[in-house]
Amino acid sequence: MSSTNLVEKRQSCRHTTNNVFHPRGMSSMCQRDSKPIASSDPSSGQAAQKGWFPIQVDGLKDIFVQPINILLVFVPLGICAGELEWGPMSTFSTNFMAIVPLAAVLGAATESLAAHTGQMLGGLLNATFGNAVEMIVTINAIRAGLVSVVQQSLIGSILSNLLLVLGMAFMASGLVNKASSFNATGAGTNVSCLVLSSLALTLPTVFSYIPETTPEASVKLSRIVALVMAMVYVAFLVFQLRTHADLFAAEEEEIDEAELALSPGVSATLLFATTCAVAFCSEFLVSSIEGVSDQYGVPYSFIGLILLPIVGNAAEHTTAVTVAYKDKMDLALGVAVGSSTQIALFVVPFSVIVGWCYGVDMTLNFHAFDTTVFLLSVFIASGILGDGQANWFEGLMLCSTYAIVAIITWYIPVEAPEARQLGAFAGPPASVFV
């Protein structure tokens, strides 16, 4: 079997609907009966024919011999740009390009390691490392006090998946089919979780507008709500992977042992090395944001809502459009809607807890514009996904919505440095309700 075919089958397996919570997750089809699919034991199957080392080499080739990995040349360039202080724009652009392929490798390593575990353990593993890029960028930005950048990048990740990726997937499917069907029940569950998330962000924001509320109260409220959201996410994993897994069943994909060639040890080593590289590059990326905004006049909102979400999701965006063109809409929705759900229910509360640990007042007050865009986007997606059918015009509407948001963010004035540091801590004026 060719390397290209193996990659397509790996991606299809990765995005099967028990993976609706995230595109880098795993599929129940790939892990039947909660048992590992493939064994790295040299005495079994393929290992007995080729030997352990050649199989690991083939597995690494399957991951690294991809067109997007040409961008890995920017990893050393980005680190050098940060260490040698080549300037904000050089540091930002090189590390921006470096994290794109690193995110793809990180997702493949996570999937490979999860394939050797049971279904629930694998789901938790993917929940932890599936959004590692977003989580690492979040940690570095919070340490730098850039609360507003964190908030906007998280909202931007949700919007890019829910509007741009889903819209492009619908349009790609519309090129070959007049209408495509998908699992409306599974998609509806994810949308319900997004509605809950939008409520959890909107209410703390509205709370900050009430006269005589204090920043301390907003911080305390946000931490409590974040803990509630985290508990809902754990319950969602149990609901999806255990008690109601049948609601998320999709087409079955036959897989080949070669797809799962990497042993647990090699997978874990690759995962650790890639995570370290992402940590280095994201730290330099975050540290250059202020310089890029100040020197070149790029609005913080545009960097957070539009540019940063591209970093961790470019590979998955391509996969969603590709599988949608092949009329595998359930897999495409696993990327778009499922990823949005995980960011909203897992990464957002994670960011509040990280701020709590570092003594930074990271709150769920995401300000009026961001929460309004999020809330309206969820309702638009909910209306489009409700009938279980997709066509190109619905995709065009979603992409147009994203384009409008991107244009508006470009015209949002650049904030003063002190306002960026305060982020959500600085509440809106109390005169709003007067």
Average pLDDT of the segment spanning 397-401: 92
pLDDT in tens, 319-336: 778 778 888 888 788 777
pTM: 0.73
Q: Dump the DSSP string for 347-409.
A: IHHHHHHHHHHHT----S--HHHHHHHHHHHHHHHHHHHTTSEE-HHHHHHHHHHHHHHHHHH
Q: Are 377 and 159 in contact (CB under 8 A)?
A: yes
Q: Dump the DSSP string for 176-243.
A: T-S-EE--HHHHHHHHHHHHHHHHHHHHHHHHTTSTT--HHHHHHHHHHHHHHHHHHHHHHHHIIIII
Mean residue pLDDT across the chain: 75
Q: Which pLDDT band holds residue 415 (cuts at 50, 70, 90)? A: low
Q: Are 209 and 365 in contact (CB under 8 A)?
A: no
pLDDT at 14: 43
Half-sphere exposure of 222 (CA within 13 A, CB side): 32
**Highest-scoring range by mean pLDDT, 52-56, 208-212, 400-404, 417-421:** 400-404
**Has residue 277 got a pLDDT over 50?**
yes
First to last CA, the chain: 69
Q: Which pLDDT band holds residue 10 (cuts at 50, 70, 90)? A: very low
pLDDT at 248: 63
Of the two residues 136 and 347, the one the predictor is more confident about is 347
pLDDT at 416: 47
CA 273 to chain centre: 20
pLDDT at 22: 44
pLDDT at 403: 93
Q: CA triplet 250, 13, 156: central angle to 5 degrees? A: 85
